[in-house]
Structure 1
Amino acid sequence: MNGIEFDYLRHLLYERSGLVVTKDKVYLLEGRLMPIARQRGLDSVDALVNMISRTRDETLIGEVIDAMTTNETLFFRDNWPYERLRRTILPDVLSMSGSQKRVRIWSAACSSGQEPYSIAMTIAEMRPMLGGAQIEICATDISPSILNRAREGRYSDFELSRGLPEPMRNRYFSVDGEGWRIKDTVREMVTFKSFNLLGDPIAAGLGTFDIVFCRNVLIYFDEATRGRVLKSIARVMSPWGYLCLGGAETVVGISDAFKVLPGERGLFALAKKDKLSDVA
């Protein structure tokens, strides 16, 4: 890829999605965008970038962003966030919210749905302990195509083998052709919406959340964009809210809206929250 085309594409991706692409990732650009170029009858990614710069075709720009922001995911990734949700976070939020008995969870950048469905299955396992509390899960992503796939809830044997315990597969999935489909009782617990993390969640009407999962997303942004995203998330969180990031992600030195919880990695509270519950 030529330097001029690379710089144009790099700026476009950053402006539209916050994605930071360095020169050592040219191979990734070529691999993900060449199929789009071929579909348009073009013989190179450079030609594709030239077409975008000439036409500013929003449909084509959307396809490019879609291709570059679709990231790998798996069920119950790292496991600890779901254990903390079950043992500590959800009981603590319910105790703090008083008589409200309504908890809203946001799965940001949900990709093909494994994270929000893992949350939903965790909650389904907890039902006897929730005392009739209403749990709402909102899952968002920038990619229309990946959201459509997530809504369908269809997965291959390989995808289910990555992180999903077999007893949960048998309880919450049904055989669907050569793969599996998540049962309606779980699928209907999740509402999927299109949302760009660089946007305003208030203007988008997402509402207020008690728990936010935004895992393994900030690592793709530069520090300024991370701060911007964290500020937006803080604005739509309840006073007792929890933020769950990836194990290698932090708010330290980036946002003063959140504070580190003692003994926790990747789990944060709004700065005004006093302490983590002792529930275990």
Structure 2
Amino acid sequence: MFSTIGYYICIPFAWLVRLFYNLTGSYGMAIILFTLVIKLIMLPFQMKSKKSMMRMSRMSGRMQEIQKKYANNQTKQAEEMQKLYAEEGINPMSGCLWSLLPFPILLALYSIIRQPITHFMMLSQDVVQQMVDAVTGAGLDVASIVQMKDGAAIVRDGITQLLPYGQINLVKTIASELPEVGQSVPGWINLNYTSFGLDMAANPWSMVTGFTFTWAAIGLILIPIIAGGSQWLMTKITMKHQPQTDPSAASANRMMMFMPLFSVYIAFTMPAALGVYWIAQSA
């Protein structure tokens, strides 16, 4: 059920990424333009959230008075807080709810990047199997595409089981070795993941473990670092305009340390395109 819901959530986002890829021919630029459009769509909601946070900040003095006055009576304190929110017309959860919106989008984009056939091109599992059969029949190496056991591909219910990034490697193999096979399938796109001289489908951590002094390696390693740095800078600017007397200031400070580290971890362990999204999102 959840996988089905996730699939349908991906549809409009995949359409956007495909549109920008077809317009620019650059996977990295498509991700950046996708991020820009998503940010523009979310801007009114984020502005509403920001206004709510600012009003909460202005109320911090009155909130602290209530907390001190009813320090020994949590029930009364909660009642007075609710009265204050009602008087000011504020929903204390509104800011938090809108701030969570980027995470479903991040997950949807990850699915689109990781599963380009079923979630980017929106083609069926039968097409995936058709492409696996074409690559196998051509005698090409499928070690980076399918799950193997005792030298043979694992097949369940007639479907060859792919590795976590098997669809990416399958698309790359078709594009480089059998482009005519892909072109024979309606809706197929022979994706070129190279943008700015970097492989947007590559895992930056693999460049650390097998480092070579080339732009392809250095650029990919820089993506997670820039992602973390931009996230830290964005949070720092946000905190600068938030009074430290705000009850949420302490938790926000902890988030300021956690989110950049989380960004670095995500960007190092997943395809580089996701790190580019994170950088564009922060910028």
Relative to total residues, which structure has the larger helix share, 1 or 2?
2
Structure showing greater radius of gyration is: 2
Under a length normalisation based on structure 1, what TM-score does the superposition of the two structures give?
Answer: 0.22
Q: Relative contact order (alpha carbons < 8 A, sep ≥ 6): 1 or 2 greater?
A: 2
TM-score using structure 2 length: 0.21
